[in-house]
């Protein structure tokens, strides 16, 4: 199954084709307006309004309440934990993504398609189940649970469990971005580098990496957004201990369930800003990638 959001060069980025110029590719005016109205209404009701609502609700009680909610010690420790979980899981999945893409894209072996299917697996597993599996292994009744308890290792209802759950749900992001890109690049350039006397690492750093840098960054950005925003999986393993095992999304839930709506939306607005920054970087990468592709085909 295809990746959810593969780095793609939008046709309209550089050249523009006018479909409305020819009667063969043009719709009647009434049809065009109907389609546009319906699509944009759908977009507004399901996507744009929720985004606007986050910021309006966050500032409903003024900037004072807003800033108080964000500088609350529990909120600050939630920010720290969210950053920590992302700082561990993103690099691990990045290294994995590069290794997987190198093996899959540059070599032929039996069972390759099956391996790709397995790498995609976390995308089709419910996040709640992604949390559950770690409880089954490290929980009090789990496989390793009693042994871990003896050695004073807390995994479930502690930070390691949160990190493990985050790694699971963000597992395929970088690999899924790099595999098709590196397959499309082929292996001639690397082989030429090796024949000319480069070591494997030199070929990787100087030939492969510059070729796939935008795809790599794209995967990392999406991986990071998911790592910082994951709710279901983390909620199962966290235990919701304030100031200790609360990530930002979990902090939003706690505040909301306490009917502290202004504070919940204030914290949520930080996450929404993060999402907007992610989308901005993503759009920039697509533009750069499109330019690089256009330059290489000229």
Partner 1 sequence: MSATLFKRRFHVLPGFHLALGYTIGYLSLIVLIPLSAVLLKTMTLTFEQFWTIVSAPRVVASFKLSFGAALIAAAINAVFGLMLAWCLVRYSFPGKKLIDALVDLPFALPTAVAGIALTALYAPNGWIGSILEPHGIKVAFTPTGVLVALIFIGLPFVVRTVQPILEDLETELEEAAASLGAQRWQTFRLVLLPILTPALLTGFALAFARAVGESGSVIFIAGNMPMVSEIAPLMIITKLEQYDYRGATAIALAMLVLSFALLLAINALQGWKASQRTRNPGRKS
Element housing 70 (H / E): helix 62-71
| Cα 229 to Cα 272: distance, rounded to the nearest angstrom | 10
127-130 contact pairs (CB < 8 A, 24+): 127/169, 127/230, 127/231, 127/232, 127/233, 128/232, 128/233, 128/235, 128/236, 130/165, 130/168, 130/169, 130/232, 130/233
| Cα 140 to Cα 157: distance, rounded to the nearest angstrom | 11
Residue from 255, 283, 271, 276 nearest 83 by CA: 271
Query: Nearer to partner 1 by C-beta: 122 or 159?
Result: 122
Query: Nearer to partner 1 by C-beta: 45 or 147?
Result: 45
In the complex, minimum distance from the CB of residue 192 to partner 1, in angstroms, rounded to a whole number = 9
Query: Nearer to partner 1 by C-beta: 190 or 214?
Result: 190
In the window 245-284, what residues touch partner 1 (CB under 8 A)? 248-250, 252-253, 256, 261, 264-265, 268, 271-272, 274-276, 278-280, 282-283
In the complex, minimum distance from the CB of residue 292 to partner 1, in angstroms, rounded to a whole number = 17
In the window 4-63, what residues touch partner 1 (CB under 8 A)? 4-5, 8, 10-12, 17, 19-20, 22-25, 27-28, 31-32, 35-36, 38-40, 42-43, 45-51, 53-54, 57
Instruction: Name, in order, each residue with C-beta under 8 angstroms of 236's C-beta and a sequence gap of 6 or more.
Output: 128, 131, 132, 134, 135, 165
In the complex, minimum distance from the CB of residue 2 to partner 1, in angstroms, rounded to a whole number = 6
In the window 119-158, what residues touch partner 1 (CB under 8 A)? 119, 121-129, 132-137, 139, 141-143
Residues that bind partner 1 (rule: CB under 8 A) add up to a total of 112
Helix and strand numbers (H, E) in the chain are: 15, 0
**228 is a contact residue toward partner 1 (CB under 8 A):** yes
Query: Nearer to partner 1 by C-beta: 17 or 298?
Result: 17
Query: Nearer to partner 1 by C-beta: 206 or 256?
Result: 256
The correct pick among 88, 94, 190, 290 for binding partner 1 (CB under 8 A) is 190
The correct pick among 61, 187, 206, 213 for binding partner 1 (CB under 8 A) is 187
Token pair in block for residue 61: 């009680």
Residues 13 and 187 sit within 8 Å (Cβ to Cβ): no
The CA angle 84-90-95, to the nearest 5 degrees, is 135
In the window 70-99, what residues touch partner 1 (CB under 8 A)? 96, 99
**102 is a contact residue toward partner 1 (CB under 8 A):** yes
In the complex, minimum distance from the CB of residue 202 to partner 1, in angstroms, rounded to a whole number = 11
Phi, psi of 281 (to 5 degrees): -65, -40
């Amino acid at each position: 199954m295809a990746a959810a959001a593969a780095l793609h060069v939008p046709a309209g980025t550089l050249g523009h084709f006018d479909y409305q110029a020819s009667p063969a590719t043009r719709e009647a005016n009434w049809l065009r307006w109907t389609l546009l109205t319906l699509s944009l209404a759908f977009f507004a009701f399901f996507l744009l309004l929720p985004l606007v609502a986050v910021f309006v609700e966050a500032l409903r009680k003024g900037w004072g309440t807003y800033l108080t909610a964000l500088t609350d010690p529990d909120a600050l420790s939630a920010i720290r934990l969210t950053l920590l979980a992302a700082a561990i899981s993103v690099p691990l999945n990045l290294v994995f993504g590069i290794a997987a893409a190198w093996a899959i894209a540059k070599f032929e072996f039996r069972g390759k398609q099956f391996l790709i299917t397995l790498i995609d697996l976390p995308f089709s597993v419910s996040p709640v189940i992604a949390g559950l599996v770690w409880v089954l292994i490290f929980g009090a009744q789990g496989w390793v649970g009693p042994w871990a308890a003896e050695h004073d290792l807390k995994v479930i209802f502690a930070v390691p469990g949160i990190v493990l759950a985050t790694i699971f749900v963000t597992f395929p992001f970088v690999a899924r971005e790099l595999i098709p890109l590196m397959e499309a690049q082929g292996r001639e350039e690397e082989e030429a580098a090796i024949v000319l006397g480069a070591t494997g690492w030199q070929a990787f750093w100087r030939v492969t990496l510059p070729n796939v840098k935008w795809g790599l960054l794209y995967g990392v950005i999406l991986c990071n957004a998911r790592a910082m925003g994951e709710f279901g999986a983390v909620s199962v393993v966290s235990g919701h201990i304030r100031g200790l095992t609360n990530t930002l999304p979990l902090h939003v839930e706690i505040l909301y369930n306490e009917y502290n709506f202004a504070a919940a939306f204030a914290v949520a607005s930080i996450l929404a800003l993060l999402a907007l920054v992610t989308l901005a970087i993503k759009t920039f990468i697509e533009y750069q990638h499109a330019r690089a592709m256009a330059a290489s085909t000229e």
